[in-house]
Structure 1
Amino acid sequence: MGSNGSSNNRILVVGDDEMMSKMLRVALANEGFEVIHAQSGEEGYESAMRVSPRAIIADVLLPGMDGFALCRRLRQSPNMRSIPILMLTSRGDMGDKITSFQAGADDCMTKPFQAEEIVYRLKGMMARAPVPALASAAPQKRGRVIATFGSKGGVGKTMIATNFAVALRRRSGKQVMLMDADFAFGDANVHLNLPAGSGVLDLVQLVDELSPQTADKVLSVHSSGVRALLCPAHPEDAELITSEHVQKLLSYLTAQSDYLVVDCGANYDDRTLTILE
């Protein structure tokens, strides 16, 4: 059984899909979490206020108050503003995802999903959540990480990532970055109509001394205002990028943006797991 690293191991799952709730209960229990289940938005809100869960998973479609309204209402409470919220939607378009982020959610996944991925995403959100004991310290700005992942190529994940980044930038007006983390076979530049370049390799070489001036020289800028960190032009150069590099790049890019959209490679290597965690 995994360790979650906190005395508060309660995860609140809000949804009326019994099969989904059972799958999440089993997957999260295997990682040492206690799952609390609520079937409606109103019940979910009451449970959240009563038990102060470590994280919340909520379906968009709920009886009564929907997931968006639940998220907005939770974020109005000071005690709920830093608790990670992961939304689930059965619709494949970007509308629900953008509305989720605007409501205050930290992530949004499309159903059906793999239990392994949702556990990784949940752990990643909790790892980035502020520590209550340090609440008095000045918070450092961190953008939200939104990752697209597919276990095989050709499923359209890069198109989703690029279109989502552009739509998020245009609708929110906030700072949006895109990182093409399919280091060997990425083609985000094609979808964004940007020229290929060394991109991430230039930042990797300076990963311990990154600065806005350095990044501006490497990041490609789309007409929408999205700034993109592109993959290497040559597939063999992908091996020069390590999981440690990826971790440092994520830390830097999230400090420089409101949203960081990451298009992952179609595998579960250490670099992809670093992003999903």
Structure 2
Amino acid sequence: MSSAPIIRVLIVDDVQESRDNIERLLSFEPDFRVVGKAARGEEGIELALRLQPHVVLLDQTLPDLDGFEVAAAITARAPGIGVILLALDPDPDMLRRAMLAGAREYLTKPFSYEEFVEAVRRVGRLANPGVAVSVPIHSPSAPERSVRETAGRDGRVIAVLGAKGGVGRTFLATNLAIALRRRSGAEVTLVDCDLMRGDVGVLLNLNPQRSWVDLARTSGILDGELVEEVLTRHASQVRVLLAPAYPDEAEQITADRVREALLELRSRSDFVIVDTAGGYEEVTLACADISDILVWVFTLEMTAIKDTRLFIEFLDRLGYKSKRLILVLNQVNHVAGLSPDDVEQSLRFPVGVRIPFDPAAVIRSINEGTPLAWEQPQHRVVAEIDRLADLLLETKEVNEQPATTRRRRFLPRFGASAIVR
């Protein structure tokens, strides 16, 4: 018998029958407690701030305010509360609006009981994992805890993110992994988490004989030896977990499985570099949750700069107070009409690395499957990627020091504004 923290839940829905049905579903789980119910948005905000639940189950359509407004109001004033938005519309734009409003999950009705319970428990753990009150339940502890307790190493997970295709996420992730290995001799694992369109194998000229699909086919907690078996070793000695060969196979891989695999790889690596899909997909958000450092890649296009500003605000609203964010400006050139300094001033956030524009060299390396960091380590593009690798190596050293010295060394390097608050 083990114990699990009680997850306190507030229900906000204007339909009495819906409120009752949700409460009935929650009553089947011994670690869920409904602490309040509201029929209007303003009432929901007031109860959330007063009761401080771990999770707010929030209907998108309310008589006074819409769900996005309520979510934004709650998370702005109490970022530790996890909001799950319940909606009828599966439109990706609605999901994006929900995430920008601060929601941790977006469930489309009708949803299954298992999906519902899993979402509440996941958001509840993230909202307040240190709940003191607990009740006994007959179930194993969370997979994340089981994996973490068997950790042999204490690696760092670095998620490489970007709002859309074409900004250079995969190019940077691939070359960064090789640069870290080359400059430190560390055990580096590169993970392709763009599960439907992953191109890490293309950039490294690797055939996906083993991939995420092999991990998806297993049930229960992942076995560490199995995780090792599905990795492919590149000539640079970087280990690679490849995306599925076919897009439809991605449906077999859940966000929870991704979290579990990344935690297992962290315990077996010095660095885990994660290439993600664009936007705010569930798997991408899972990668961000697990990561120690977020590397956001963008270009000098106005749309990319706008997306970067939204991402910084998005992190603030989700309450990623301990996350370290490094901005990487890719394809820097003098014909875009904007300078990196202009971008920094607009974002009010430092750009940590500025990669120069050299399309001929980059495209050739992609087409040949020979990363620049491996074949041309002296190239000017690689020089900036090496600088990013050195920042990450220094950050790892800082975080291995006692807490009394860690903060003083970290802040001067990136600047106080480089830590997402």
SS in 1 for 2:46: helix
Percent pairwise identity: 24
The normalised TM-score by structure 1 is 0.56
What's the counterpart of residue 42 of structure 1?
42
Larger radius of gyration: 2
8 Å contact from structure 2 (residues 55, 127) kept in 1: no
Q: Which of 247, 263, 270 matches 2:260? A: 247
User: What residue in structure 1 maps to residue 164 of structure 2?
Assistant: 170
Structure 1 equivalent of residue 10 of structure 2:
12
Q: Secondary structure at the match of 1:109?
A: strand
Per-residue displacement from partner, 1:98-147 (whole Å, max 9, x unpaired)? 100111111101111123311111112222335458xxxxxx9998xxxx
Q: Deviations over 1:170-211 (max 9, x none)?
A: 39x9x897464xxxxxxx349x9x977233359922789xxx
What is the DSSP-based 3-state SS (H/G/I as helix, E as strand, rest coil) of the residue aligned with 2:111? coil
**In structure 2, which of residues 186, 203, 211 is the aligned counterpart of residue 199 of structure 1?**
211
2:282 maps to what in 1? 261
**Paired residues, number:** 201
Judged with a 3 Å threshold, the aligned counterparts in structure 2 of structure 1 residues 45 and 70 are, in CA distance, closer, same or farther, namely same
C-alpha distance in 1, partners of 2:120/2:264? 18
**1:120 aligned residue (95, 118, 121):** 118
Secondary structure at 1:5's aligned position in 2?
A: strand
Q: Distance in 2 between matches of 1:107 and 1:26?
A: 20
CA 128–75 in structure 1, closer or farther in 2 if over 3 Å, else same = closer
In structure 2, the partner of 1:85 is 83
Whether the 8 Å CA contact 1:23–1:115 is kept in 2: the answer is no
C-alpha distance 230-27 of structure 1, shift in aligned 2 (>3 A): same
Query: What residue ranges of structure 2 are gaps of 5+ in the alignment?
Result: 132-155, 171-191, 216-225, 232-236, 267-271, 285-421
CA 104–17 in structure 1, closer or farther in 2 if over 3 Å, else same? same
- Which letter does structure 2 place at the counterpart of 1:261? E
Distance in 2, matches of 1:23 and 1:105, equals 22
Letter in 2 for 1:247: E
1:29 counterpart residue number: 27
Residue 58 of structure 1 deviates from its aligned partner by 0.5
Q: Secondary structure at the match of 1:249?
A: helix
Per-residue CA shift, 1:16-37, capped at 9, x if unaligned?
1333222210110111323221
Distance 2:63 2:158 in 1: 33
Superposition RMSD on alpha carbons, in Å?
4.7
TM-score of the superposed pair, with normalisation by structure 2: 0.39
Residue aligned with 1:63, SS: coil
* Rounded Cα–Cα distance in structure 2 between residues aligned with 1:75 and 1:251: 31
